[in-house]
């Protein structure tokens, strides 16, 4: 069961404010957020047989912050919390989707994600002294409606991928991508717009 969050004190609120600003925080400082981790439910989801579709759906509702209708998420699935990830309607996620959701990951409707994709809201300071106690910073990720993300893509903190866009396999997305574009590479860059001409590609007999 998810249960209510603990009552926050002044220290907790200060840490939350720092996280919201994208500033560095540490593992010890965020111990009060551990209630949001869905480790046991994720383990159970990944070990639930395919024939138990209703059980999988029930577990997914327990794991995620919110989940829409007609959602397919093939195990194994991994998440730092689970409860900070939000998925819309008509979603397909292939195997080995990893959500480092220390803060919110919001996925819209009609999104498709290929195998072995990582969505990470969290990075670490460059200087090693700032990584003591697992020092890190986090920024939300937004994936808008109708996006398709190819295999082995990594989406980094603070990125927004616009409506209808396609991210090529193997890309590292470090900057936001505008709507209705194809982007690929390391770092990921827009290579062209998606146009009505794309409606005629891959037709039968071509």
Catalytic residues: 124
- Cα(157)–Cα(101) distance, rounded to whole angstroms? 10
Cβ atoms of 114 and 96 within 8 Å: the answer is no
The 3-state DSSP class for residue 206 equals coil
Q: What is the Cα Rg of the chain in Å?
A: 18
Cβ atoms of 147 and 182 within 8 Å: the answer is no
Read off the tokens for 59. 């577990």
Closest to 163 (Cα-Cα) out of 193, 136, 138: 193
The 3-state DSSP class for residue 137 equals strand
CB neighbourhood size of 157 (10 A): 20
């Amino acid at each position: 069961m998810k249960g209510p969050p603990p009552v926050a004190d002044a220290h907790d609120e200060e840490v939350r404010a720092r996280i919201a600003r994208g500033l560095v925080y540490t593992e010890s400082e965020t111990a009060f957020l551990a209630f949001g981790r869905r480790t046991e439910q994720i383990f159970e989801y990944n070990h639930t047989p395919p024939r138990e579709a209703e059980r999988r759906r029930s577990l997914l509702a327990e794991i995620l912050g919110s989940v829409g209708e007609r959602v397919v998420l093939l195990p194994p699935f991994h998440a730092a919390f689970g409860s900070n990830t939000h998925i819309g309607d008509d979603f397909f996620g292939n195997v080995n989707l990893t959500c480092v959701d220390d803060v919110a990951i919001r996925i819209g409707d009609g999104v498709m994600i290929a195998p072995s994709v990582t969505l990470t809201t969290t990075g670490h300071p460059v200087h090693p002294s700032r990584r003591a106690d697992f020092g890190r910073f986090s920024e939300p990720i937004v994936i808008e409606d109708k996006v398709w993300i190819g295999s082995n893509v990594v989406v980094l903190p603070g990125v927004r991928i616009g409506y209808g866009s396609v991210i090529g396999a193997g890309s590292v997305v470090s900057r936001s991508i505008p709507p209705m574009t194809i982007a690929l590479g390391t770092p990921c860059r827009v290579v062209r717009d998606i146009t009505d001409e794309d409606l005629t590609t891959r037709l039968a007999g071509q």
